[in-house]
A = this chain, B = another copy of it.
């Protein structure tokens, strides 16, 4: 098997990780945590979401967070944006990159965005155009690529159609989301085989949730297929607090453990991130799902991870 020499990690913990948490993390704590992340060597951090605060109260302080952090040169700070109103707020907060999102399955798109897939295209087109005109980077998310909570199987034709539309709009990178964490390595291989005939590997990122424990195996196959950019969330944040053991995004900690063990370069300092995981675990007040974080905490005599 052939694996790449280096991998780019895009940390989505402050946005995807925190957005469903019951515990509100204070603005000061969010800022402190994001500053820890940017000092660890991570070069891409999705810091918040400029959605209507009524939808996602956990991120209602988006502007304060985005303007309060200490920007590290060389780090790209990203915000999720659903519409022009959010884009305006994101521009005012001077983020570097705008992420837009939609789903590959009609029902999930309808429930999440309140529009059909076809109705969503013009909205995102405006966002991407404005983003590029403002000299910022544009990133696209496709959700439910590997399965939909409402429809089950998602047709590859729908993934292709949404992906093509997003690239035609001008996004620099497309992140393929396993939103409900159902993908298996064979499916990842099958989907990537089709997509890599149409889009360069360098413009694709994989966004796995570890709901069923398969995320690292899915990443391994993606690496073998030539994809080298992965979204992940520190500590595995993003799980549903109501489902014991359920996990959110693949944990940055686990991903780094695997990649560094394989000799794959990421530029990230694992030790610094260990403290950032501990910091956010204490603020969240529950045990984070990342296994390598928990193992590392235990190895340090339980001084880390012992408070919750």
A residues contacting B by CB (< 8 A) are 1, 3, 181-187, 189, 210-214, 216-217, 219-221, 224, 240, 242-247, 251, 254, 257-258, 261-263, 287-295, 297-298, 302, 305, 308
Listed residue (A181, A247, A291, A294) with the most chain B CB atoms within 10 angstroms of its CB: A291
B residues near A247, Cβ cutoff 8 Å? 291
Known: A211-B292, A220-B220, A244-B294. 17 other contacts (CB 8 A): A183-B261, A186-B263, A210-B291, A211-B291, A212-B254, A212-B292, A212-B295, A213-B213, A213-B257, A213-B258, A213-B290, A214-B216, A217-B220, A243-B297, A244-B305, A245-B293, A246-B295
Known A244-B287, A291-B210, A295-B243: A261·B184 in contact at CB below 8 Å = yes
Complex Cα distance A186/B243, Å?
A: 33
Partner of A261, one of B187, B210, B246: B187
Contact in complex: B292, A3 (CB < 8 Å): no
B residues near A245, Cβ cutoff 8 Å? 287-291, 293-294
Contact in complex: A1, B292 (CB < 8 Å): no
Q: 8 A-B contacts, Cβ less than 8 Å apart?
A: A3-B186, A186-B261, A213-B213, A214-B258, A216-B217, A217-B220, A244-B308, A245-B293
B residues near A246, Cβ cutoff 8 Å? 291, 294-295, 298
Complex Cα distance A261/B189, Å?
A: 12
Q: How distant is A278 from chain B, measured CB to nearest CB, in Å? A: 13
Which single residue of chain B is at the shortest CB-CB distance from A291? Answer: B213
Q: How distant is A245 from chain B, measured CB to nearest CB, in Å? A: 4
Partner of A186, one of B242, B262, B292: B262
Complex Cα distance A190/B243, Å?
A: 38
Complex Cα distance A10/B129, Å?
A: 56
9 smallest CB-CB distances across A and B, nearest first, come from A184-B261, A245-B294, A186-B262, A213-B291, A212-B292, A213-B254, A243-B298, A216-B217, A244-B287
Partner of A213, one of B189, B211, B221, B251: B251
Partner of A1, one of B189, B213, B214, B290: B189
Q: How distant is A117 from chain B, measured CB to nearest CB, in Å? A: 26
B residues near A298, Cβ cutoff 8 Å? 240, 242-243, 246
Which single residue of chain B is at the shortest CB-CB distance from A298? Answer: B243
